[in-house]
Chains A and B, each alone.
Chain A
Amino acid sequence: MGKPIKIRAKIKGDFAEIKALMPHDMESGLRMNPATNQPYPAHYITDFVAELNGEVVMTAYWGQAVSKNPYVSFSIKGAVAGDTVTLRWNDNKGDSSEKEVVLK
């Protein structure tokens, strides 16, 4: 199980702005370990999904070039207080993490 996603969600008029921070190494596979002279194995989030009340509203596909501890923000139209936003990621090693927040 991956580390928990941190979410900040705020309703701004007719949309909800979601900001998420995902603690994750996002190791590119290119960075050398000076001790062994071998690259650190690639370990990065490949898929990131956002759901509103259980319905997928956005699917993101990421490569190695998303920064360590990815931060992402986006906005969902017509989301109102009481709606549930669920965020989930999967990485290339089969780890995953999921978190939901209720908008208020």
Chain B
Amino acid sequence: MHRRLLLKGIVALGAMAAWPRLLWASRPDAAFIADNAEDAIMAVFGQMPVASEQIKLKIPDIAENGAVVPVTVSTDLADVESISIVVVNNPTPFVASFDMGPRMVPIVSVRIKMGQSSQVLALVKAGGTLYSTSRDVKVTIGGCGG
């Protein structure tokens, strides 16, 4: 009986070890309801980012329609775990996070809403450290309320 329990334990441990890296924690709900960027970032990562020139954030300088702003984030950093996008002045700044497995090329494009002109952050977690780059985007017509 004891042996069987032990066996079960070993099987369970094995299953946990085989669980792919980061695939995946659950959705960081606290980040999505946080009303400021710092709280949101801390809720997901538990650390604030360091600036990196190895992240490329492609986004228009002037977004005529805040409801649809195309964003592309790519990076040369190695061991990328996730790419996230934060719009500092949005009512809830944390927009999206993409947890990348080892099979992913570290580039992602998505279209986002911006309520007003804002600094936009691209965050990349790589090798356990959080990096970021930012751009200021001017919004002509906001895309949150209406």
- Judge whether B108 is part of the interface by a CB distance below 8 angstroms: yes
CB neighbors of A among B49-89 (8 A): 67-69, 87
The verdict on A76 contacting B104 (CB below 8 Å), with A60-B98, A65-B144 known, is yes
Q: How far is the CB of A9 from chain B (nearest CB, A)?
A: 14
Residue of A nearest to B27 (CB): A61
Contacts of B100 in A (CB 8 A): 57-58
A59 touches B113 (CB 8 A): no
Q: Interface range on chain B: under 10, 10 to 19, 20 to 34, or 35 or more?
A: 35 or more
Query: Shortest distance in angstroms between B78's beta carbon and chain A's nearest beta carbon?
Result: 13
Whether A61 and B97, one on each chain, are in contact in the complex, defined by CB atoms closer than 8 angstroms, is yes
Contact between A71 and B111, CB atoms less than 8 A apart: yes
Number of inter-chain CB pairs below 8 Å: 105
Give min CB distance, A101 to chain B, whole Å: 16
Distance of A74 Cα from B32 Cα, bound (Å): 22
CA distance A56 to B125 in the complex (A): 19
Question: Closest chain A residue to B74 by CB distance?
Answer: A75
**Which one of A15, A30, A52, A74 lies within 8 Å of B91 (CB-CB)?**
A30
Give CA–CA (A30, B146) in the complex, Å. Answer: 8
Please, how many angstroms separate the alpha-carbon atoms of A61 and B96 in the complex? Answer: 6
As a 0/1 sequence over residues 72 to 84 of chain A, the CB contacts with chain B under 8 angstroms (1 = contact) are 1111111100000
Closest CB of chain A to B87's CB: distance in Å? 6
Q: Which 8 A-B pairs have the closest CB atoms?
A: A75-B105, A67-B111, A63-B32, A59-B24, A65-B95, A73-B109, A60-B98, A57-B103
